[in-house]
Amino acid sequence: MLKSKGRGSLAFETIVYNLRTISLGMQIVVLLLFLISLIVKTKKGGIKEHGKVATGGYALAVLSVLYMLYSAYNLTISGRTPSVIYTHGLFGAISLAFGFIFVINRWRWKTRRNMRILLALWVLTFIGGLSIYLTFTGRLP
């Protein structure tokens, strides 16, 4: 699974691997929270509960970024950052910015169309991050 490839100590690579794994776990929980918020909206909780659950998911997504930034920073400093990480980071930054607008803004901008665009952008970012994670752990070529 993890082998030192002459780029740093095995302990350092283990720490970075653990941070990536924690971040992935948090992002999976975020995805589940977003799905739960959709169910809550359609079932019994209404729009207010939907907003609370989705805001909780957004807050957890922001927290998970802190774990990812350490890993991305070390890759950038070492000069071995694949270009796909920059694309993933751009989509992630746009998703977080739009999410922030949803959290702080009132209802006028919160249309179903805009929420679907944000969800699609977030899922695209999630899939990109998952593929990067699987590549770094050696599970994808």
> What value does the mean pLDDT take over residues 2-7?
46
Tell whether the model's pLDDT for residue 25 goes beyond 80: yes
Longest dimension (CA), the chain: 56
CA distance 57 to 8: 34
Tell whether the model's pLDDT for residue 3 goes beyond 90: no
Report pLDDT for 124.
92
CA distance 127 to 40: 24
Q: Exposed e or buried b for every residue in 91-111, given b needs 16+ CB within 10 A? A: bbeebbebbeebeeeeeeeee
Q: What is the DSSP letter of 49?
A: H
What SS3 string covers 66-132? HHHHHHHHHHHHHCCCCHHHHHHHHHHHHHHHHHHHHHHCCCCCCCHHHHHHHHHHHHHHHHHHHHH
8 A C-beta contact, residue 95 and residue 114: no
> What value does the mean pLDDT take over residues 17-24?
82
| pLDDT confidence bin for 89, thresholds 50/70/90 | confident
The pTM (predicted TM-score) of the whole model is 0.75
Report pLDDT for 2.
43
Tell whether the model's pLDDT for residue 1 goes beyond 60: no
**% residues pLDDT > 90 (the chain):** 9
Would you state the structure tokens that stand for residue 80, as one six-digit string?
Answer: 């071995």
Q: Tens of pLDDT along 29-80? A: 999 998 898 888 877 668 888 888 888 888 888 888 877 777 777 777 777 7
